[in-house]
Structure 1
């Protein structure tokens, strides 16, 4: 297997800085709604460019009501750019990330004729969506949202194409903005919500393959979207610790809970294994030199999480 050549990146790209640690940077979402939508996506999928002002406003309200994040997805390459005929059925998914109190992640698959169908569906109770089935699929979504940030397109599209060709099972999709252009190429594994950044071709393929086997790849791991930043940091730290000892817990084997900080910049989280073991991680949120969070943006404050202690036991 030969990986494609990494594309040239413009010198002013937001994703070239690598001093911000990845753990603790995943977007926080517990419910993801995915809608197949080939073609262009506009700068923001709900800014009126894609669906018009009225439908976009209604979709925003619907997602807010059910506590969900809408992503548009498409197959990689030319196939993903082919606009479907009006009324053609489209694939849709709803991912419940789980991860709290060992709750399982679930993926529901169904079909719609368009985005307007989402308005009348009981997304908060996916088992009641007409025609929805619990899917055994594990999806790998790679952000390629060029109008939102060029880094995601330049770095994400080759990754999505490569992994899609290697797996050839329809489980890899290009997706709209997930958060974190500065970490491009970025990907998210659903239904678990494990989020990744700064991926190369081999790492992206590995995360997709490991997810299909019920495992969690560690290279490029930013955290799980169902967890707070400090919980993400703690879980990644524990997974790394266990991996060094030859142990690789699955997505449902660890659950974190945040503990009140004892100092303004110090935060603590406890991570509990299904078998009863627990660990406590304390991390400091440190300030970094300002930088743009997205290509073309002005400099903004930046921070990074640094683990300062990690030990077995319970927090006081």
Structure 2
């Protein structure tokens, strides 16, 4: 049976505007195997997982489990848990870090405040390298294991980056998929060479737009609009552009993109369906996922 990633490649499905939407990411280290619904079907306390999911719903904070690359023995013994809280908004992108003996301590974190960019003093500032998170959860989709785990292994000792496996960042059919923090840009169909280039860019405050799915900070029309403005202007500074929430109703959306220097663009984004249909995940019935395409980038007078 053809995999979802193979079908997507053969159809030359665009990567643009396919990133998961999250202003803030909460990454919780949980060693051992993961289930399809990692927060409630792995070694994390399922009751805690359900509670965290419920508390984060609608807040702009997305929760995922992470683990170090490598073999993952089925150990149930106690372990300390690295936790990262990362906000991705331009001009206020940050990562906070803590090590917890018991992840139940996460109940003290306020996902709504974190989604707004307020960490409330939780944890300590992360002064390490950018976080590179490779989706590897084969229980969710086999492409993430078949393609993601070898990539994570190749990157395990990448200079200048903190590499983790992650449970789910959306878009199995674009495997191997990678999320890079603090800026929150996601990438698909990458190899180790490309990720090294992305990391070099992040360390310099730049965005590498090749194979970029979008910045998770924005809604999907905003992701399409921001990348379209970057393509038009050549702007590669990560925090130079912001995208306003999309206006209008499908299929015709409008996004206002602002530059830090005062320039503005009105971007017309068309929402359509991907044809022909294709499986969005291995084993799923063929579907026609939404596609967002920037059709026109119109400069406006500076604000």
State how 1:166-315 maps to structure 2 within 5 Å: 166-167=158-159, 171-243=162-234, 247-248=235-236, 250-261=237-248, 264-287=250-273, 288-313=275-300
Cα drift, residue 27 of structure 1? 0.9
Cα drift, residue 216 of structure 1? 0.8
Aligned partner (choices 1, 5, 20) of residue 15 of structure 1: 5
Match of 2:34 in 1: 41
Cα drift, residue 42 of structure 1? 0.8
Mapped pair 1:119 → 2:107: yes
Cα drift, residue 307 of structure 1? 2.5
User: 1:204, 1:170 → 2: CA distance?
Assistant: 10
Q: CA 1:110–1:25 in structure 2 vs 1: closer, same or farther (change >3 Å)?
A: same
Match of 1:6 in 2: none
Match of 2:97 in 1: 109
SS in 1 for 2:37: coil
Which structure 2 residue ranges, 5 or more long, are not aligned? none
- CA RMSD across the alignment: 2.3
CA contact (8 A) 1:127 1:133 kept: no
Q: TM-score, normalised by structure 2?
A: 0.88
Q: TM-score, normalised by structure 1?
A: 0.84
User: 1:115, 1:209 → 2: CA distance?
Assistant: 32
CA contact (8 A) 1:192 1:224 kept: yes
Q: How many residues align?
A: 293
User: 2:228, 2:58 → 1: CA distance?
Assistant: 34
SS in 2 for 1:166: coil
Range that drifts further, 172-181 or 296-305: 296-305
Q: CA 1:182–1:118 in structure 2 vs 1: closer, same or farther (change >3 Å)?
A: same
* 1:147-175 deviation line (CA, Å, top 9, x unaligned): 100111111112222223332x5611111
Match of 1:165 in 2: 157
Match of 1:143 in 2: 135
Q: CA 1:223–1:81 in structure 2 vs 1: closer, same or farther (change >3 Å)?
A: farther
Match of 1:5 in 2: none
Match of 1:28 in 2: 21
CA contact (8 A) 2:243 2:257 kept: yes
SS in 1 for 2:157: helix
SS in 2 for 1:275: coil
Aligned partner (choices 146, 153, 174) of residue 154 of structure 1: 146
